[in-house]
Chain A
Amino acid sequence: QQKVQQSPESLSVPEGGMASLNCTSSDRNFQYFWWYRQHSGEGPKALMSIFSDGDKKEGRFTAHLNKASLHVSLHIRDSQPSDSALYFCAALSNMGYKLTFGTGTSLLVDP
């Protein structure tokens, strides 16, 4: 069973709109979370990390973490066509060196 689940599988938003991506883990040892973004034909690149409960904002991107419910979300405001990509949630256990990735959310921003 996948330890990190993402929803939705795919998402389409209009240019300038808000995109919301969700991630839930089933392992309470996961303490550190990242969002990675992958454009077609490229390797994933880290977008932002979040390690504490609450919100973290970086430009148009806001991540939210609730460790009690093992839920992480990413919100992209004023979405741009260049934001069209595959987004992965990744989690790191406080006991290991392995980063566990979710199944990904494909985001399409319609111009």
Chain B
Amino acid sequence: EAAVTQSPRNKVAVTGGKVTLSCNQTNNHNNMYWYRQDTGHGLRLIHYSYGAGSTEKGDIPDGYKASRPSQENFSLILELATPSQTSVYFCASGDVAVSAETLYFGSGTRLTVL
């Protein structure tokens, strides 16, 4: 089965600190995505990528950067973390536009910014 692995599983950060969330996929999908999940908002798209070297802004990109150094890896970077970024973050891969495939999600990273 398609595999998406996120690390760390839990993270506590301080306000103003830098946070990097990592994601690795073994599905050979071109597209990768970062979502955050908050009660009442569902899943909201932060950044996505079409392939190595590309990153695109999603619906709520402010305060976040993304990096796609290879086909397999996609990172989400919070340069100056704020308490409003406390959330559960999910990485996903899937070539939805190519063949209307499904997305495969990781298990999530719970981030708490104090």
Contacts and interface: CB of A to CB of B under 8 A. Distances in A.
A101 interface: yes
Given A92-B97, A99-B103, A101-B43, 4 more contacts: A4-B42, A36-B103, A96-B97, A97-B48
Contacts of A59: none
A4 B43 CA distance: 11
Contact of A43 (B59, B100, B106): B106
Interface residues of A, number: 26
Interface of A: 2, 4, 6, 32, 34, 36, 41-46, 49, 51, 88, 90, 92, 96-104
Nearest to A93: B97
B50 interface: yes
A104 B42 contact: yes
A44 B97 contact: no
Nearest to A32: B100
A43 B105 contact: yes
Interface residues of B, number: 26
A102 to B, nearest CB: 5
Contacts of A32: 96, 100
Contacts of A98: 33, 45, 48, 58-59
Nearest to A92: B96
Contacts of B42: 2, 4, 6, 88, 101-104
Given A97-B48, A97-B97, A88 B102 contact: no
Contacts of A102: 42
Nearest to A33: B100
Contacts of A97: 31, 48, 50, 96-97
B90 A44 contact: yes
A96 B97 CA distance: 7
A100 B35 CA distance: 10
B27 to A, nearest CB: 13
B64 to A, nearest CB: 15
Contacts of A90: 103
A73 B33 CA distance: 25
Given A43-B90, A44-B43, A88-B42, A99 B33 contact: yes
